[in-house]
């Protein structure tokens, strides 16, 4: 995963657009936010007289863990320590092709342990059992469908999934997001099983789906390829057992899924939230080792001692072996989806690792803060003639006040050199959407008798977006007019 020109621009304190231009002159056309190869960054660095060493956050974290003698991602011991583990599956496909319905149907039809009635609520993943060649085999499903969540986790360095089930509705056929999902699965090197869904529907044409996907390199077994296509209906339940069998067969044929069940557990957090009564609750997927109640654990920046483990039916369990998803109670904070978790020797080690991670996150946030392009700096640039246009997003407590503000702003006369443009306006609190637009377009947000909502302030801090609050229209107008006229003294 490469960094983007925006990342580099932030690090060396230049305008991302300038980097885009330099690269363009070197013969490469990329956008500011697109991720580029490390070599490209190095070439760019050389051009600008910077010596660039690309250290990924994952590498940084690996070094941190190594300093505690912990290796993340490796099974301890040799071959003889390894035991088979169930495959972990993500369901992907075009919207409305039946991903959610299919996950529901699979879960209801075949919950591991058998008590299908006991399901309370989803913990983000579940296991089902199926019989293949007279053997009971388990499969773990991540039950947030879609490639977005999967790819977001992957972007954080987490490998959460072994196999992708690509759901294609037989009446609709291959659609744009089908291909997108396919690309994401292939980018992650995942073997694919195709579930041709909705075969109960009139107009269903499963043969056509096979033909369409063949063009994208997914050739059905029956045509001599190596992709298993299974016709299913999430509504009637037809084909669900065959789908489970296909997943097991694909895992056996394409993957060597084994893990050491004896070591201290490691894995990935796939969902987490703050529960009013229980505190931070994280669903983790154990990837190696066995997680026990009482273990000292670090998950991203959170740590703690495992107070309780709950399985996908909401029952207390004392341990979780490889590929089993469990809810963990006892963490001090809420980790992010895609954060790794590790069990360590004692609480002290857990706390130290968590503290170091937090300190690093704080430093990164501070560095971002130092790069903040505030209104003051924009004013400075206006003064120096570096910026010709001040972009604003207006939020107010009523449509009347927003109109009045915009109207008054449009009457500011500052001549031809500089201009002011309102790129968005609205009634109500300042939202994260407002902040992301401001960040993307380098605009300043004006809040008139409204405040920022939820995480908007935090996000603005992180992304270097300036939010200015006013309760009197003329105060807003005066300050902006002064800025545009280059008369405002920067305030630090």
Say whether residue 293 binds ligand GDP (CB under 6 A).
Answer: no
* Crossing angle of helices 347-370 and 456-463, rounded to 10°: 70
Q: Can you give 26-64 as a three-state secondary structure string?
A: CCCCCCCCCECCHHHHHHHHHHCCCCCCCCCHHHHHHHH
DSSP alpha helices (H): ranges in 74-145? 99-109
Per-residue string for binding with ligand GDP, 104-133, x by CB under 6 A? ------------------------------
Burial of residue 476, with CB atoms counted within 10 A of its CB: 0-12 exposed, 13-18 middle, 19 or more buried: buried
Say whether residue 234 binds ligand GDP (CB under 6 A).
Answer: yes
312 is in an annotated binding site: no
Q: 198 or 357: whose CB is closer to ligand GDP?
A: 198
Count of residues that bind ligand GDP according to CB under 6 A: 16
Say whether residue 303 binds ligand GDP (CB under 6 A).
Answer: no
Map tokens 């405040």 to a residue: 451
94 is in an annotated binding site: yes
Give the interface segment with ligand GDP, choosing from 55-63, 117-125, 193-201, 211-219 (CB under 6 A): 193-201
Q: Where are the beta strands (DSSP E) in 170-265?
A: 192-197, 229-231, 258-259
Per-residue string for binding with ligand GDP, 197-216, x by CB under 6 A? xx-xx---------------
Say whether residue 323 binds ligand GDP (CB under 6 A).
Answer: no
CA distances from 221 to 134, 369, 390 (A): 23, 55, 60
- CB 418, min distance to ligand GDP, A: 48
Which positions from 36 through 95 interact with ligand GDP, judged by CB under 6 A? Answer: 93, 95
Which positions from 140 through 159 interact with ligand GDP, judged by CB under 6 A? Answer: 145
Written as one string, the DSSP assignment of 148-189 is: HHHHHHHHTT----SEEEEEEETTT-S-HHHHHHHHHHHHTT
CA-to-CA distance for 110 and 139, rounded, in angstroms?
Answer: 10
Out of 87, 90, 97, 464, point to the residue binding ligand GDP (CB under 6 A): 97
Report residue 139 CA to chain centroid gap. 23
Which residue's C-beta sits nearest to ligand GDP?
Answer: 98
172 is in an annotated binding site: no
Contact indicator for 267, 286 with CB cutoff of 8 Å: yes
Say whether residue 178 binds ligand GDP (CB under 6 A).
Answer: no
147 is in an annotated binding site: yes
Q: 182 or 394: whose CB is closer to ligand GDP?
A: 182
Annotated binding site for GTP: 93-100, 143-147, 197-200
Q: Which residues bind ligand GDP (CB under 6 A)?
A: 93, 95-101, 145, 197-198, 200-201, 233-235
């Amino acid at each position: 995963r490469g960094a983007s020109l925006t990342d580099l621009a932030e690090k060396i304190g230049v305008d991302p657009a300038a980097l885009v231009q330099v690269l363009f002159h070197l013969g490469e056309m990329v956008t500011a936010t697109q991720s580029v190869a490390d070599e490209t960054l190095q070439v760019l660095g050389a051009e600008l007289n910077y010596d660039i060493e690309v250290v990924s956050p994952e590498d940084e974290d690996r070094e941190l863990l190594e300093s505690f003698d912990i290796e993340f991602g490796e099974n301890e011991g040799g071959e003889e320590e390894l035991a088979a583990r169930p495959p972990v599956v993500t369901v992907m496909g075009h919207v409305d092709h039946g991903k959610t319905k299919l996950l529901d149907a699979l879960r209801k039809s075949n919950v591991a342990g058998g008590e299908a009635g006991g399901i309370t609520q989803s913990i983000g993943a579940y296991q089902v059992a199926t019989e293949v060649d007279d053997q009971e085999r388990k499969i773990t499903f991540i039950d947030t469908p879609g490639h977005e969540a999967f790819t977001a986790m992957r972007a954080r360095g987490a490998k959460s999934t072994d196999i992708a089930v690509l759901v294609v509705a037989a009446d609709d056929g291959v659609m744009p997001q089908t291909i997108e999902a396919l690309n994401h699965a292939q980018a992650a090197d995942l073997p694919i099983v195709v579930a041709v869904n909705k075969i109960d529907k009139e107009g269903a044409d499963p043969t056509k789906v096979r033909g369409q996907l063949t063009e994208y390199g997914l050739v059905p077994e029956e045509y001599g390829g190596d992709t298993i296509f299974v016709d299913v209906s999430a509504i009637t339940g037809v084909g669900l057992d065959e789908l489970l069998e296909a997943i097991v067969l694909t895992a056996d044929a394409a993957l060597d899924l084994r893990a050491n069940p004896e070591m201290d557990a490691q894995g990935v957090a796939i969902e987490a939230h703050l529960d009013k009564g229980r505190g931070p609750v994280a669903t983790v997927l154990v990837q190696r080792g066995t997680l026990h109640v009482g273990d000292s654990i670090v998950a991203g920046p959170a740590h703690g001692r495992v107070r309780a483990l709950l399985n996908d039916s909401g029952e207390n369990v004392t341990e979780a072996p490889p590929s089993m998803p469990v809810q963990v109670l006892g963490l001090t904070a809420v980790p992010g989806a895609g954060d790794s978790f590790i069990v360590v020797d004692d609480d002290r080690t857990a706390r130290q690792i968590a503290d170091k991670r937090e300190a690093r996150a704080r430093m990164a946030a501070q560095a971002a803060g130092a790069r903040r392009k505030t209104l003051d700096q924009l004013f400075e640039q206006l003064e120096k003639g570096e910026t010709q246009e001040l972009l604003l997003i207006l939020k107010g407590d009523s449509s009347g006040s927003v109109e009045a503000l915009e109207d008054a702003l449009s009457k500011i006369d500052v001549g031809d050199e500089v201009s002011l443009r309102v790129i968005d306006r609205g009634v109500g609190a300042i939202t994260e959407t407002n902040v992301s637009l401001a960040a993307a377009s380098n605009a300043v947000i004006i809040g008139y008798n409204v405040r920022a909502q939820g995480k908007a302030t935090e996000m603005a801090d992180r992304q270097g977006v300036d939010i200015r609050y006013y309760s009197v229209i003329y105060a807003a107008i005066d300050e902006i007019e002064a800025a545009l006229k280059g008369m405002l003294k920067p305030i630090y």
